[in-house]
Amino acid sequence: MVDKVKLLIDGAFVDAKGSQWRDVVNPATQDVLASVPMCGSDEVAQAVAAAKAAFPAWRATAIAERARVFLRLQALIREHMDELAATLTREQGKTLADAKGDVFRGLEVVEHACSIGTLQMGEFAENVAGGVDTYAIRQPLGVCAGITPFNFPAMIPLWMFPMACVAGNTFVLKPSEQDPLTPMKLAELAQQAGLPRGVLNVVHGGVEAVNAICDHPDIKAISFVGSVNVGRHVYERGTSNGKRVQAMLGAKNHAVVLPDANKEQTLNALVGAAFGAAGQRCMATSVVVLVGKAKEWIPDIVAKAKTLKVSAGCEPGADLGPVINRQALARIEKLIGQGIEQGATLELDGRKPVIAGYESGNFVAPTIFSAVKPGMAIYDEEIFGPVLCICEADSLDAAIALVNANPYGNGTALFTQSGAAARKFQHDIDVGQVGINVPIPVPVPIFSFTGSRGSKLGDLGPYGKEVIRFYTQTKTVTARWFDDDATAGPVNTTIALR
């Protein structure tokens, strides 16, 4: 019998009471690792009630003490890095190296949370009028919630609850039901770090749990990362209920390559960014735009992709593992078929690779199309698999126009040795995150994740300085103090301060 994944409610790991469960499956072997409950509104309400009860005391906790909890958490994450990565690999499919990267990028946000003392500072202006001072302070909202995707089961939860909680809020986390074991280990470490009971709560489930989070009147803000359709639903339902919502959605990230780019470094960057994590990254490079004579690089891109090893993530030397489930595999294979039917040139076919010892795994090897154009399904849709589309452009201006015409705005990159071309690109491109000779331009946590246009709903990012604004409300205080022997003066009926 497999283990049943527990809930975290009011500081205790408890069994779910519902009757609906879902298997957590190793995507490389189809082995069932655990059974996760599909919670309903009652269990979400219990988690929210615990978070609401914990809020007054946690809000009153000194900023330095809140920061110390997360200093201890970052130390525990480092101590358990190998265990976290192994769990992540088993349930999600990433290679061990990529799994460690997943944990580490989340760890960076935990470290940044420890600087809350400066992040949450307000503003002060003396003598804005005669004897009058005004100051602004940032105060926590209350109960906040996070809904996270399957592709980063460590990083995305660590983007959310540490920043929300260190700012004085309490939190309800709903991780992906496809790989909940890693988030639960992080929750265990948070409890060990000294996070008080009720400050962090974890529920599991699907549509019913998501809707309960969107509808609960005591939840003040929701952070979401995931698919476009679900994200739009969460944003519309949550905001209609008066909540703050930030939703990071889909992407179609283009890398533009000029002929003067450093060839070997560019090839390594493109292939790594396209096929790492089996292409299951919202920041994956899924389209390469070759400008001018750079179109001659197509055989080199194909040759470089052929050097990658496809295997279970736990295998030594594996460069990419399986995709998350059978449905994802079928969808990717369908889109590859549509690419052929719609006239793209299949340069490298990665369908149905034979992986010795893992014949039942959800594997797709690197797949490359050239002669791809807008209007083709493989260009218009986010494939979320190891499929790279190659387009061509006659000039940098034409490449910029192609990227800007795409509805998504998560990330883009330019490969060149020309400073003038790089400056033009970063100025003219209408995408939130830009890399110059960097293929996956996710900023470090001292900045904010800044995807834009169709890749984002809401105006603030999920970490960095922006997220402190998201998780706090600003209160302004205007004050005047009088000496005991001061004269009151006449009644003032105007709005001006004197």
Q: Active-site residue numbers?
A: 282
Asked if 455 and 432 count as a contact pair (C-beta separation under 8 A), the reply is yes
Residues 6+ apart with CB under 8 A from 273: 255, 283, 284, 285, 413, 439, 440
> Tokens 């396209």, residue?
274
Instruction: Write the DSSP assignment of 218-255 as a string of letters.
Output: TEEEEEEES-HHHHHHHHHHHHHTT-EEEEE----EEE
Q: Is the dihedral of CA 200, 205, 209, 210 positive or negative?
A: positive
Q: Is the dihedral of CA 337, 340, 343, 347 positive or negative?
A: positive
What does the alpha-carbon distance between residue 251 and residue 433 come to, in Å, rounded to a whole number?
A: 12
> Tokens 């593992």, residue?
321
Angle, CA 250 vertex, CA 339 and CA 344 arms, to 5°: 15
Closest alpha carbon to 456 in 122, 231, 186? 231
In this structure, which amino acid lies at residue 18? G
Closest alpha carbon to 76 in 175, 213, 195? 195
Closest alpha carbon to 463 in 156, 230, 44, 70? 156
Which letter, b or e, does each residue of 230-267 get, where b requires 16 or more Cβ atoms within 10 Å of its Cβ? Answer: bbebbbebbbeeebbbbbbbbbbbbbbbbeebeeeebb
What does the alpha-carbon distance between residue 449 and residue 456 come to, in Å, rounded to a whole number?
A: 10
> Tokens 């939840």, residue?
219
* DSSP tag of 320: B
Collapsed DSSP state (helix, strand, coil) of residue 25: strand
Closest alpha carbon to 282 in 72, 432, 141? 432
Q: How many CA atoms lie within 13 A of 133 on its CB side?
A: 8
Instruction: Write the DSSP assignment of 349-408 as a string of letters.
Output: --SS---TT-TTS-----EEEES--TTSHHHHS---SSEEEEEEESSHHHHHHHHHHSSE
**Phi and psi, residue 287, nearest 5°:** -135, 130
Burial of 300 (0-12, 13-18, 19+ CB in 10 A): middle
Residues 6+ apart with CB under 8 A from 223: 144, 145, 146, 147, 159, 160, 164, 245, 246, 462, 467, 470
Asked if 434 and 411 count as a contact pair (C-beta separation under 8 A), the reply is yes
